[in-house]
Amino acid sequence: MEAGTVIVIIAVVAIVIFVIVVISRSIRIIPQAQTGVVERLGRYHKTLQPGLNILVPFIDHIRAHVDMREQVVSFPPQPVITEDNLVVSIDTVVYFQVTDSRAATYEIADYLGAVEQLTTTTLRNVVGGMNLEEALTSRDNINGQLRIVLDEATGKWGIRVGRVELKAIDPPVSIQDSMEKQMRAERDRRAAILTAEGTKQSAILQAEGLRQAEILRAEGDAKAAVLRAQGEAEAIQTVFAAIHEGGPDSPLLAYQYLQTLPELAKGDANKLWIIPSELTEALKGIGSAFTPKPPAA
């Protein structure tokens, strides 16, 4: 093979390699939810959007790939001194999103570290103006104040803070023991109140039931007495009607009186008997009935 041919082949191969390198450096594919910050000769040139992008080889350079999705960062517990000089440990979670790739790349060297330090400082300022009870019961207020301060401070970095959450607020161990005793005493107090209320309601219901039972029993006794009196009255009326219809004579009445005497004698307390005058007259009639009449002369 001649030397000229070899040189031509080498030149062609070199050109092909150069073209491949140029094409590979010119074409950039940016994934979805990401952007690319491009520098041209060391200066910011443009921001690449997701998809296929063309660059000038050897002149344009991608400085950084920036994730545009909302990010969640959990910071380690931070000791914070409250207004009443108690040290509490607070865990925080920050939700933020990069809105400006250029500012996030050039305005701050490490925006994650900056957000962490800013969160710690703001948290100490906010909680430092509260006592322990306010800090434990004002999480929403603390979250709102932190979000406003962080969003305002990180806006120039091209970052938007969506929300800040306090995962935990841990007071000192001695305070935790006191709070646990207080909560236990409060639970016992509520249980005693509920028990007393239940006993009270039970007594009221029981008394109401007894009252209703007595009322119903009295009404029943009254109705029974009325019915019994009505029955006795009707019986007496029936007996008297029968007696008047039968036209009883003195011997019959005397006989009825004699039948009544054993009933009067049954009682142990019956010491004195009162015999009506009609009984003696009736007995005379009975005696005369059984005495034979003398023959007529």
Q: What is the DSSP letter of 156?
A: G
Lowest model confidence (mean pLDDT) among 42-46, 67-71, 144-148, 279-283: 279-283
pLDDT tens per residue, range 145-198? 888 888 888 989 999 998 888 888 888 776 666 666 677 777 778 888 888 888
Question: Are the C-beta atoms of 126 and 101 separated by less than 8 Å?
Answer: no
Residue 267 CA to residue 264 CA, distance in Å, equals 7
Partners of 127 in the beta sheet?
none
Question: What was the pLDDT predicted at 297?
Answer: 46
Q: What is the DSSP string of 190-224?
A: HHHHHHHHHHHHHHHHHHHHHHHHHHHHHHHHHHH
47: CB partners within 8 A, 6+ apart: 35, 36, 37, 38, 101, 102
Total count of residues recorded for the chain = 297
Residue 209 CA to residue 217 CA, distance in Å, equals 12
Task: Write the CA distances from 276 to 81, 111, 253, 268, integer angstroms.
Answer: 111, 127, 12, 21
Write phi, then psi, for 76 (nearest 5 degrees).
Answer: -65, 160
Question: Are the C-beta atoms of 73 and 96 separated by less than 8 Å?
Answer: yes
| Other C-beta atoms lying within 10 Å of the C-beta of residue 88 | 20
Residue 223 CA to residue 228 CA, distance in Å, equals 8
pLDDT tens per residue, range 262-288? 665 665 555 555 555 555 655 555 555
Domains of the chain: 3-66 (no CATH), 70-171 (3.30.479.30)
Q: In which element (H, E) is residue 271 found? A: none
Residue 85 CA to residue 101 CA, distance in Å, equals 42
pLDDT tens per residue, range 89-125? 888 899 999 999 999 999 998 888 888 888 888 888 8
Question: Are the C-beta atoms of 56 and 38 separated by less than 8 Å?
Answer: no
